[in-house]
Amino acid sequence: MNGMSHPSRMLCRKAHSEFQRQNINVRHDLSEDIDNYLRSYQHEFDIKDCLQRHKITPTLRARMIDWMIEVLTNFKCDDQTFFLAVSL
């Protein structure tokens, strides 16, 4: 890949932090590998009724999701990251 087509080339250094520029680099460079890796394990584990097998109460799960919203908002993550995390 040449440097001109990389997505971080479009991010202004004044408007975006180093973290934001690095984050887009990681997503761009590794997103396909991460997706393939997770999909390979998707069929190996039985996730049916997984919350029933753990001691995570509905109240605790709601608190965890509220916390995830706060963290992902602070890091300015995509909505897709939130939905993937909740799904996992």
pLDDT given for residue 79 in this prediction: 85
pLDDT given for residue 2 in this prediction: 47
Q: How far apart are CA 82 and CA 71, in angstroms?
A: 10
The torsion angles phi and psi of 11, rounded to 5 degrees, stand at -90, 120
Residue with the bigger pLDDT between 14 and 80: it is 80
Residues 6+ apart with CB under 8 A from 23: 75
Q: How far apart are CA 11 and CA 70, in angstroms?
A: 25
Q: What is the pLDDT of residues 26-79, one digit of tens each?
A: 566 667 787 788 788 877 877 777 767 778 888 998 999 999 999 988 988 888
- Residue boundaries of the structural domains of the chain: 12-45, 47-88
Residue with the bigger pLDDT between 78 and 5: it is 78
